[in-house]
Amino acid sequence: MLDSLKKLFGKSEPAGKGVPGRRVAPKGESAVILDGRRYQLRNWNTEGFLFGPYTGDLVAGRRVKVELIVMDGEFKLKCPAVATITRVDGAGVDAKFYFISPEHKKQIQAYVSHYS
């Protein structure tokens, strides 16, 4: 019965590998393209990403179109997305995905699970 309740409330996945919320630093070449400029992708998962350094006029709450690029051996991803900026500070820009295709989300999840 306890297992049924855990599944009902989404607690069936063990902590650690592939847990939502855990971000990983991409290996290989990675970038975020925003307004035609290229920034270093620092970490990511299926929920969002951090990039920087950044100097500009972005503010929390703003929605932006981006392209994430990760080239890591056999893993190659060019992912257009819409994101909401959640924080801009000395660490860079933190953003949460507003829209990302289901296929790209699956690819990101596989990547994060592999490196978690």
SS3 52: coil
Inside any domain, residue 48: yes
Q: Please report, for the domain that includes residue 102, its CATH number.
A: 2.40.10.220
Q: What is the pTM of this model?
A: 0.81
**pLDDT tens per residue across span 75-87:** 999 999 999 999 9
Helices (H) and strands (E) in the chain, counts: 2, 7
State the pLDDT at residue 20.
57
In a domain, 43, yes or no: yes
The verdict on residue 13 lying in a domain is no
Asked if the structure places residue 98 within a domain, the reply is yes
Maximal CA-CA distance, the chain: 53
Instruction: For residue 94, give its domain range.
Output: 23-115
> Does residue 71 form part of some domain?
yes
Tell me if 68 is assigned to some domain: yes
In a domain, 3, yes or no: no
Q: Does residue 18 lie within any of the structural domains?
A: no
How many domains is the chain built from?
A: 1
What's the pLDDT tens digit per position in 52-99? 999 999 999 999 999 999 999 999 999 999 999 999 998 899 999 999
Which letter, b or e, does each residue of 50-87 get, where b requires 16 or more Cβ atoms within 10 Å of its Cβ? bbbebeeebeeeeebebebbbeeeeeebebebebebee
